[in-house]
Structure 1
Amino acid sequence: MATLPKILISTLVFVLLGILVFAVAFLLIVKITPFSIRKEIEEDQNTALAIVIGSVILGLAWIISAAIHG
């Protein structure tokens, strides 16, 4: 039980770090695209772009998870 607070703090730090890295990577993707991703998916109903963005999100999540896990 004595190590529980230490484990919880390290888990919280890694969660926050993972979310931060994910947010920065996603913002970078949004900035480098020459069009509005939101407009293409919501207004133009571009399903292919939605699938690509979903794949990018999953890929980023797996990479961050693997990096944190070690």
Structure 2
Amino acid sequence: MSTPTTTPSPTVVKCPTCQTPVVWNDTSPYRPFCCKRCQLIDLGEWAEEEKAIPGAPDMSDSDGWSEDMGY
């Protein structure tokens, strides 16, 4: 007796911008976004520094160190 072959269900994610379900495969060229518009909205938020990856603070100006040693 053979077992029926099942195809795995496609992975579906929510668009980070508008929360629309997006199938994660080659038919979704803007994945994880649902469309070019949502992709550009997200890019604009990064460019305007509304989004950021947490990390160590920038020490380049606050510690008084300079590459120019006056030589």
Same fold (TM over 0.5): no
Q: From the two aligned structures, give the one with the greater helix fraction.
A: 1
- The one of the two structures with greater contact order (alpha-carbon pairs below 8 A, sep at least 6) is 1
- Bigger CA radius of gyration: 2
- The normalised TM-score by structure 1 is 0.27
Q: From the two aligned structures, give the one with the greater strand fraction.
A: 2
